[in-house]
A = this chain, B = another copy of it.
Amino acid sequence: MNSLLRTGEVAQKFGLSTQTLYFYERIGLIPPPQRSPSGYRLFGDRDVARLGFILRVKALGLSLDEIREILALYDGKSLTCQVIQDRLQQKVQELDQKIQQLQGLRNELAPLVEQCQTYLSQSSPSGECSALQDITGVVNGNGSPQDASMK
């Protein structure tokens, strides 16, 4: 019922290295498991479940620090729905922000690619790159984010 797994078995079960498990224990993400008489770690069902939770939430994009924070609340039994919701909502907002940034970047990059395309289709394919010149042009024109000293 309460099967005990050794480090290597747990690692294999989750596709981790044993070193990663030691690491998680070292940083306090998982509690030190039970030991065999000879000192081998023995992970019980609760340990395995907790590790599963960690990996699941990690895959959702939370950092190990954030996960540790949630688990600390959980261990302290003060893990209210409100707290969880706050964390999740904050994370969703962060994701939205990140997505916005990347899309902005993407939309800045895409026209340069097209510019290359039209240039390639209308002249010799080994010449100067107009897209690059656009970029360097911008640089020479108003290069720096903060250009305080222009003599």
A132 part of interface (Cβ distance < 8 Å): yes
Give the interface residue-count category, chain A.
35 or more
Cα separation A129 to B49 with both chains bound (whole Å): 16
Do A12 and B109 have beta carbons less than 8 Å apart? Answer: no
A-side interface mostly: helix
Copies of this chain, tallied across the complex: 2
Separation in Å of the A39 CB from the closest CB of chain B?
24
Within 8 A of B (CB), among A87-113: 88-89, 91-92, 95-96, 98-99, 102-103, 105-106, 108-110, 112-113
Within 8 A of B (CB), among A41-92: 48-49, 51-53, 55-57, 59-61, 74, 79-85, 88-89, 91-92
Interface residues of A (CB under 8 A from B): 9, 12-15, 48-49, 51-53, 55-57, 59-61, 74, 79-85, 88-89, 91-92, 95-96, 98-99, 102-103, 105-106, 108-110, 112-113, 116-117, 119-120, 125-132, 135-136, 138-140, 143-149
- Please name the 9 residue pairs, one residue from A and one from B, whose CB atoms are nearest each other, closest first: A52-B139, A52-B143, A85-B116, A15-B146, A81-B129, A14-B144, A95-B106, A84-B129, A61-B105
